A = this chain, B = another copy of it.
Amino acid sequence: MKIVVDAFGGDNAPASVVEGAFLALQKRNDIDIILTGDVEKLKNLVGNREHIEIVDAKDVITNDDQPTLAIRQKRDSSLVRAFDLLKEKDDVVGLVSAGNTGAVLTGAILKIGRIKGISRPALCSIMPTLKDNGVMVCDSGSSVDCKVEHLTQFAIMASAYYSCYTGAEKPRVALLNNGVESHKGNELTKEAYERFQTLPINFVGNIEAREAMSGDVDVIVADGFAGNVLLKTTEGVAKSMSEMIKKQAKKNIFTMIGALLMGKFKSIKRKMDIDKYGGALLIGCKKLVVKTHGSANKENFCNTILQVATIYENKLNEKIEKIVVEIADKLEKNDD
C-alpha cells in the first residue's frame, strides 16, 4: 500500500516530514511513501531510500491562502498534487498533511468526495487522557452547524474508527453535553440523546466537558463548534499550565531542584503530548485523509503515516459503508 504525504505542509516541513517517513519505514517496511513537493529539495533530504518516491510540486499552499481558491488554483502545490495522486491511483490508500486545515478539508471534499450515504465528513481528533488511552472527539471543527442526522453519522463513524484503530470491540461513545442527566442539553443534544439510543453503538450517555480527559469514554460526539471549543480549550489550558510549571523550574534553574522540576515537567508534558496519537482523520471520505497539526514533529509524522496504514488494513471505510447500508435497510423495514 502507498501513502502520500504533503511534504511541504506544516511549520517543520519538509525536514520533519522526511524524518518522519524514515521513522515509519523503520517500523514497517511493507508500506511505500510518496512525498509531494520540490523535487530538488526533497532529493537532497531523502537521498536514495527504498520505499520512498518523490512527486514534484513546485508550489505550496500557506495558511494565508483561502482554502477553496487554493485547491482550485494552486494545481502545482504539494497538497493538490497529493490529492491528485490519492484520487487517481488505486494503490494510494491515504493522504497525510500538516498544512492549511481549510485547504485539506476542502481538497478532501472536492477531490475525493464522501462515502455514499454520508452527508458530511467529520474531523475526528484524538486528545490525551489521564489513563493514557486517548479519546476521540468527533466532530472537532469541520462542521460547525449540525443537525441530529449529522451527529448520528459522526457517532457511527467514530465508533467504527476507534475499533479499527485500537482493536476495541465496543468503544464507549458519549455525547458532549452541559450535564450528564438525559434531560439536559440544547435542542440538538436532547434530540441526539434519544437517537443515539437506537444506534448499533455502545452509547454510554452524556459527558460533561470537565470529564473529557478522564479516560472513561473512548469517543465524544459533538457538533463541530462545541467539539472545537473542547479540543482547543484542552490545548490552551495544558499549554498555560505547562508554562507555569516551566516558569517555576526556571526560577530554580541553577539548582538541582530546577533540573528535577524540569524533569517532572517533561514527564507531564509527555502525558499531554498529542503527537503520539497521530493526526485528525477526516472521517467519511472515500479515501483516508489525515490532517495533523501545523507544528507536527518527526514522531508525529511517523505516527500519522502508521495510523493511516492501520486504519486502512482494518478496513474502516468498508465498515462505515456496511453500517450505513444496514441502518438504511433497517429504517426502510421500519417504514414498511
A residues with a Cβ closer than 8 A to B are: 130, 141, 144-145, 176, 178, 185-187, 189, 208-214, 222, 224-226, 228-241, 243-245, 248, 257, 260-261, 264, 267-268, 271-272
The answer to whether B271 and A244 touch across the interface, beta carbons within 8 angstroms, is yes
Docked complex Cα distance between A185 and B178 (Å): 21
A122 to chain B, nearest CB (A): 14
Name the residue of chain B whose CB is nearest to the CB of A231. Answer: B209
A185 to chain B, nearest CB (A): 7
Docked complex Cα distance between A187 and B143 (Å): 11
In the complex, chain B residues whose CB is within 8 Å of the CB of A268: 241, 244-245, 248
- Pick the contact of A178: B209, B225, B272 (CB < 8 A): B225
In the complex, chain B residues whose CB is within 8 Å of the CB of A240: 130, 213-214
A215 to chain B, nearest CB (A): 9
In the complex, chain B residues whose CB is within 8 Å of the CB of A260: 257, 260-261
Name the residue of chain B whose CB is nearest to the CB of A249. Answer: B264
Docked complex Cα distance between A248 and B245 (Å): 13
State the number of copies, please: 2
Name the residue of chain B whose CB is nearest to the CB of A244. Answer: B268
The answer to whether A236 and B209 touch across the interface, beta carbons within 8 angstroms, is yes
The answer to whether A245 and B243 touch across the interface, beta carbons within 8 angstroms, is no
In the complex, chain B residues whose CB is within 8 Å of the CB of A209: 228-233, 236
Q: DSSP class of A's interface residues: helix, strand, loop or mixed?
A: helix
A270 to chain B, nearest CB (A): 10
What 3 pairs between A and B have smallest CB-CB spacing? A210-B236, A209-B232, A233-B233
A74 to chain B, nearest CB (A): 19
Name the residue of chain B whose CB is nearest to the CB of A215. Answer: B240
The answer to whether A229 and B226 touch across the interface, beta carbons within 8 angstroms, is yes
Quick one: given A232-B209, A264-B261, A271-B244, are A141 and B238 in contact (CB under 8 Å)?
A: no
11 A–B contacts from the bound complex (CB under 8 Å) = A145-B186, A178-B224, A189-B225, A209-B236, A210-B233, A210-B239, A212-B236, A222-B229, A248-B264, A248-B267, A260-B260
- Pick the contact of A186: B144, B214, B239 (CB < 8 A): B144
Quick one: given A130-B243, A245-B245, A245-B264, are A237 and B233 in contact (CB under 8 Å)?
A: yes
In the complex, chain B residues whose CB is within 8 Å of the CB of A224: 178, 186
The answer to whether A210 and B226 touch across the interface, beta carbons within 8 angstroms, is no
Docked complex Cα distance between A222 and B226 (Å): 11
In the complex, chain B residues whose CB is within 8 Å of the CB of A229: 176, 178, 209, 222, 226, 229-230, 233
- Pick the contact of A225: B144, B186, B248 (CB < 8 A): B186
A139 to chain B, nearest CB (A): 11
Docked complex Cα distance between A231 and B233 (Å): 9
- Pick the contact of A238: B145, B214, B237, B261 (CB < 8 A): B237
Quick one: given A186-B225, A229-B233, A234-B233, are A178 and B144 in contact (CB under 8 Å)?
A: yes
The answer to whether B226 and A225 touch across the interface, beta carbons within 8 angstroms, is yes
A42 to chain B, nearest CB (A): 31
Name the residue of chain B whose CB is nearest to the CB of A241. Answer: B241
In the complex, chain B residues whose CB is within 8 Å of the CB of A244: 130, 268, 271
